[in-house]
Structure 1
Amino acid sequence: MGAALGVRHVQGLFLTPVTLDHGWSRETFGLALALQNLLWGIAQPFTGMIADRFGSARVVLAGLLVYELGLVTMAYASTTGVYMLGTGVLVGVALSGCAFGAVYGALSRLFPAERRSWALGVAGAIGGLGQFCMVPFVQSLMGGIGWISTLVVLAAMMVMLAPLSAWLRDCPASRAQNDTHTQSIGAALREAFSHRGFWLLNFGFFACGFQLAFIAAHMPAYLLDKGLSAKHASAALALIAFANVFGTYLCGWLGDFMRRKYVLSAIYFLRSAAMAAFFLAPLTPASVYAFSFLMGLIWLGTVPLTNGIVSQVFGVRFIATLFGFVFFGHQLGSFLGVWLGGIVYDATHAYDLLWYGAIALGIVAGLLHLPIDDTCVARAAQPLAQPA
């Protein structure tokens, strides 16, 4: 997961060389990344179903191999259609198999409830560490061997990491521990879709995706427009990734002894306050670094907490599937955060409306988490079917 998220985190570094070498527009490159976010979200429920049925190892293995194919396609694409196939379709689908959904689903089954948030926090911290370390690694490679060869090296790394999935021995739904009923996946989906808290999590995660995608994709350009240098912009993204290593672990740890919905509400309120202070105060390098560090501490901390609430309410039998549907809301928000950022800027030559929108969404998300019923749903216990 650290490698998968790390490679995704640095794809913006390829914008300038790819567009210059091929003569493509930045809109084309941005659309490919937006499509990646959307397809990641669309594919996540389906890869989650496979992970719940057969275990996460096969899904992670397939995800890493498809990731490799997507990176090679990006490297040797000669048309925008082929590049979007690699960046948007293949890498987007691959992320659904080797990032949050499959890995968190496996860990949710491997660890008992009282240690689950801690385990998810550790995994998220490693994912953040991958994002942080991948920035200088890819920059160094691109400076030495060029962007095409760099993509090939990253593809080879995915192939080398694929065998690690053999050790990911979670218990699939057909053999889930402590399972006292024979709930089908259809019944699990009907139960979740009729639960108000499930939809509130979806709406809250939508705000999370919108905020993060907008900041990651457009804050460098925003800083340049305000007179800061590219050095400040890259340092800001690196600082976000660095702080995220500790912040994700801290958020997961807090979920072990505090009600997760209240921690999530606090995160969304804090994000909105931080964005409002950053946007309204005079812009200086110090304010950029302070904002980046604070945002990094709460950057991906919402993911293990949200996954924890889903498993807490609905159990771990179909956790990868149910989290996949919640994660779709996150990726829909990510798609709109990237896409609308470009549209609004082209129309107004400023990002002001996007900052106001991201702040408002954070406040709404914080309020929506407060009434979530996070108690475990009651089901009639049924004996498991005996083997013939």
Structure 2
Amino acid sequence: MRRHVPAIRRGDQVSGQHDVWHKRWPLVIAGGVVMGAALGVRHVQGLFLTPVTIDHGWSRETFGLALALQNLLWGVAQPFTGMIADRFGSARVILAGLLVYALGLVVMAYAGTPGVYTLGTGVLVGIGLSGSAFGAVYGALSRLFPAERRSWALGVAGAIGGLGQFCTVPFVQTLMSGIGWVSTLIVLAVVMVVLAPLSAWLRDRPVGPASRLSGEASTQSIGAAIREALSHRGFWLLNFGFFACGFQLAFIAAHMPSYLLDKGLSARNASAALALIALANVIGTYLCGYLGDFLRRKYVLSAIYFIRSAAMAAFFLAPLTPASVYVFSFLMGLIWLGTVPLTNGLVSQVFGVRYIATLFGFVFFGHQLGSFLGVWLGGIVYDATHAYDALWYGAIALGIVAGLLHLPIDDERVARLDHPLAQPA
């Protein structure tokens, strides 16, 4: 006897999609602003390296380890916050994430020892990011928008988030020059608390046995979904590829400001470089999300990694000038976070959106493991050699490997979704 699948009334489905599409801009703006604040503060962590280490008398390895733990714990926490979001909805997770983030910034400001500073920036901010950045926001939007509008929603929210990152750089630089780095962290904590109510706009409904918006009809448990993903070869390839992404971006964001200062450039050049990355990311994230509607996502991802490696090789081997820094920063910005909506879209394309926050959380752990090593090894290598050369070569090599790993990914939707009611992401 065939198993009965609950029917979805077409009128209800169309009505629900129309309602979401009618209020699309408040949804993507809320998601983008939350991500912009969370990722923007993370993006400028490198600006705090010099004043924090000088004021406290700490080594770069100490600062690098704290920031590396932030990336690692963000990744470790992401599958669990994803499970909570899939079970109880993303809005609660985002609200809690922003408040924990704010607490972490306060602890960073008043820390007197490396251990307390690591608790703030490494543990609390890391956990806060897992509830306020990609996983929770993209998971909510993936459920709130129907399949045919999903890439648009992720791309636009990512672009708004990138604009927030861009604005964070001059904002933080101005604050640090005027009131110092300690008071700057307190101001950033207040910003997180003020933005917390935006989580109400991202009140998604976890996908049940019959989802009106996604079109998926499944009684699959979360355990079965995880086992299904872990047995999929493409899921592992995506994890390994995303590892390289995290290594590259975390190393550049955390250590490039100090690298430029060591090479004789000014703090203004370093701040301008981070700002250009964030500005170009606004364009790049939207374009990458847009391309995901027309090209196979795995090929776009592969091209991004190859281009990154070529750009880093040219930047590192060519004479260093302000012009070369700005060209490199703009090019990297165009492909900075464009991997995230593409990767999220690829996961939902293959496995559906019912447990998208959880499954993307597992993929994102690979990204954050790479981020941990990119930041931590940057500090260790610099303290040992007084140079970052080995990290540049490593980042270039990892990008080439990631580009190759994405090519054989099987991006066909799993057989479980091959049902008249199921719709590809």
TM-score scaled by length of structure 2: 0.86
1:233 is displaced (CA, Å) by 2.1
Of 276, 281, 285, which residue of structure 1 is paired with 2:313?
276
Q: Which amino acid aligns with 2:170?
A: P
Kindly state the Cα deviation for residue 138 of structure 1 after the two structures are TM-superposed. 1.7
Closer, same or farther in 2 for the Cα pair 1:5/1:227, shift >3 Å?
Answer: same
What amino acid is aligned across from residue 222 of structure 1 in structure 2? Y
The corresponding residue for 2:161 is 127
- Asked if structure 1 preserves the Cα contact closer than 8 Å seen for 2:46 and 2:253, the reply is no
Give how far 1:282 is off.
2.4
Shift of residue 380, structure 1, vs aligned partner? 7.8
Question: How many residues end up aligned between the 2 structures?
Answer: 383
Alpha-carbon distance between aligned partners in 1 of 2:112 and 2:260, rounded to the nearest angstrom: 32
**Hey, what's the Cα distance between the residues in 1 that align with 2:241 and 2:272?**
29
* Residue aligning to 1:154: 188
Structure 1's 305 and 75: CA in aligned 2 closer, same or farther, altered over 3 A? same
Q: How does 1:299-314 map to 2 (within 5 A)?
A: 299-314=336-351
Q: Letter of the aligned partner of 1:377 in structure 2? A: V
- SS of the residue aligned with 1:365? helix
- 1:307-346 aligned at under 5 Å gives the runs 307-346=344-383
Note if contact 2:173-2:271 (Cα within 8 Å) is conserved in structure 1.
no
Q: Deviations over 1:277-336 (max 9, x none)?
A: 212222222222111111110000000000000000000000000000000000000111
Deviates more, 1:230-239 or 1:93-102: 230-239
Amino acid at match of 2:189: A
Equivalence for 1:167: 201
Of 386, 395, 406, the match for 1:369: 406
Q: Which amino acid aligns with 2:108?
A: M
CA distance 1:275–1:173, shift in 2 (3 Å): same
Return the match for 1:182 from 211, 219, 228.
219
Give the aligned CA root-mean-square deviation in angstroms: 1.8
Kept in 2: contact 1:48–1:321 (CA 8 A): yes
8 Å contact from structure 1 (residues 118, 255) kept in 2: no
In structure 2, which of residues 21, 27, 48 is the aligned counterpart of residue 14 of structure 1?
Answer: 48
Are 1:47 and 2:84 matched, yes or no?
no
- Structure 1 CA distance, aligned partners of 2:202 and 2:104? 23
> After superposition, what is the alpha-carbon deviation per residue over 1:2-38, rounded to whole angstroms, capped at 9, x for unaligned?
1111111122222333333333333222211111001
Going from structure 1 to structure 2, the CA distance change for 1:374 and 1:88 (only over 3 Å counts) comes to same
Give the gaps of 5 or more residues in structure 2.
1-34
Q: 1:64 aligns to what?
A: 98
Counterpart code for 2:264: G
1:381 to partner: Cα distance: 8.2
1:24 and 2:58 aligned: yes
1:33 aligned residue = 67
User: Which residue of the other structure, out of 284, 291, 303, is the alignment partner of 1:266?
Assistant: 303
2: distance between equivalents of 1:220 and 1:108? 35
Instruction: Quote the Cα distance in structure 1 between the aligned partners of 2:273 and 2:57.
Output: 28
Paired with 1:191 and 1:98, the residues of 2 have a C-alpha distance of 27
User: Does the residue aligned with 1:159 lie in a helix, a strand or coil?
Assistant: helix
Measured against aligned partners, the alpha-carbon deviations of 1:243-287 in whole angstroms (never above 9, x if no partner) come to 111111111111011111111011011111111121222222222
1:115 to 126, 133, 149: 149
**Superposed CA offset, 1:46-89 (max 9, x none):** 00000001110000010011111111111222222221111110
> Would you say the 8 A contact 1:3–1:130 is kept in 2?
yes
Q: Are residues 13 and 220 of structure 1, via their aligned partners in 2, closer, same or farther at CA, if it must alter by over 3 Å?
A: closer
| Greater mean deviation of Cα atoms: 287-296 or 70-79 | 70-79
Residue 194 in structure 1 maps to residue 235 in structure 2: no
Structure 2 counterpart of 1:300, one-letter code: L
**CA distance in 2: counterparts of 1:155 and 1:233, whole angstroms:** 24
Distance 1:345 1:147 in 2: 23
Q: Percent identity over the alignment?
A: 87
- Distance apart, 1:346 and its partner CA: 3.0
Contact in 1 for aligned 2:155/2:288 (Cα 8 Å): yes
Moved over 6 A (4+): none
**CA gap 1:256/1:60 in 2 versus in 1, 3 angstroms:** same
Q: Secondary structure at the match of 1:376?
A: coil
SS in 2 for 1:210: helix
What corresponds to 1:250 in structure 2? Answer: 287
Return the alpha-carbon distance in structure 2 between the equivalents of residues 42 and 164 of structure 1.
25
Q: Take 1:371 and 1:230, find their aligned partners in 2: how far apart are those partners? A: 43
Distance 1:68 1:129 in 2: 21
Answer with 226-235 or 352-361: which moved more. Answer: 226-235
Which residue of 1 is the match for residue 14 of structure 2?
none
Note if 1:347 corresponds to 2:384: yes
| Shift of residue 375, structure 1, vs aligned partner | 0.9
Task: Report if aligned partners of 1:15, 1:26 keep a CA contact under 8 Å in 2.
Answer: yes
TM-score (norm 1): 0.94
Gaps of 5+ in 1: none
- Quote the residue 1:74 is aligned against: 108
Contact 1:206 1:332 in 2 (8 A): yes
Contact in 2 for aligned 1:180/1:381 (Cα 8 Å): no
Change (3 A) 1:210 1:314: same
Deviation of 1:149 after TM superposition, in Å, equals: 2.3
2:337 maps to a residue whose letter is: L
Q: Note the alpha carbon deviations across 1:168-193, whole angstroms, 9 max, x for none.
A: 12121336432322000000000000
1:141 corresponding residue in structure 2: 175
Greater Cα shift, 183-192 or 232-241? 232-241
The 3-state SS of whatever aligns with 1:173 is coil
Contact 1:116–1:256 (CA under 8 A) maintained in structure 2: no
